[in-house]
Structure 1
Amino acid sequence: AALTMAFERGAFQSADAFIAFLGLDVRAKDSGTFTGRRKLTKQGDPEIRRLLHNAALAAARKGHWKQLYEQYQARGLKKTQALVILARKLARIAFALMKKREDYIPRTA
């Protein structure tokens, strides 16, 4: 419901714009040859980010999402980084479903 309300607040041209609105986009602090830390902008509603984080935690325990989560950790990402990636993926899926006005049908294979 929170994602639906956020989606209805604006006319988003792309999933990237929706992700930025939620505050889940990554800000880079780079200059010249210096490569700084990457951090979330956290510009959006903190409650929606918390709900997406909780959804990512639940998704990381089951099926296809668990495999993705484990792949990210095998690549050397920390747990929080892998969960943020899952939360962003969930938000992108929700955006696509709301934009096309379709129901979610998970893959069976």
Structure 2
Amino acid sequence: HRGEFKNSDAFVAYLGMDVRVRDSGKQVGRRKLTKKGDPELRRLLYNAAMSARRTKAWSGLYETYLSQGLKTTQALVKLGRKLARIAFALMKNQSMYRPKMPVTCCAAP
């Protein structure tokens, strides 16, 4: 069931991978996943992120998340959210996934 989503944030919220913020005045509370969506979809995205972090295309982004101070689980969830946003864009535009290829410079003969 695809459903109609206004933007990728609504799709991420549908999956239950959006972050609940509990701040009040000067107090900064914990951030937690809402987990309102289908748990099976969240599990599949987490597993996809675990697999993606081992690939050449996604390992750099995963390492960037770790260098930002995120724990491994947090980095995997963030990578899963990124994959969900890409999936949303592919569904909305009904296009094929074309990853950005690294630009290599050709030497002049």
Q: Aligned runs of 1:50-89 on 2, under 5 Å?
A: 50-89=43-82
CA distance in 2, matches of 1:78, 1:37: 14
What is the CA deviation profile of residues 65-93 of structure 1, one whole-angstrom value per residue up to 9, with x for unaligned ones? 10011111112110011001100000000
User: Percent identity over the alignment?
Assistant: 61
Which residue in 1 is equivalent to 2:107?
none
- Residue number among 7, 16, 21 corresponding to 1:14 in the alignment: 7
What is the CA distance between 1:17 and its match in structure 2?
0.3
Residue identity matched to 1:97: L
CA distance in 2, matches of 1:16, 1:30: 20
For structure 1, the residue ranges without an aligned partner over 5 or more in a row are none
Which residue in 1 is equivalent to 2:91?
98
Is the partner of 1:27 in helix, strand or coil? Answer: strand
CA distance in 2, matches of 1:96, 1:74: 27
What is the CA deviation profile of residues 42-83 of structure 1, one whole-angstrom value per residue up to 9, with x for unaligned ones? 000000000000000000111131001111111211001100
- Find runs of 4+ consecutive structure 1 residues off by over 6 angstroms: none
Bigger share in strand: 1
CA distance in 1, matches of 2:6, 2:36: 18
Residue identity matched to 1:40: L
Residue identity matched to 2:99: P
Which residue in 2 is equivalent to 1:30?
23
Larger radius of gyration: 2
CA RMSD in angstroms, aligned pairs only: 0.8
For structure 2, the residue ranges without an aligned partner over 5 or more in a row are 103-109
What is the CA distance between 1:40 and its match in structure 2?
0.2
Bigger share in helix: 1
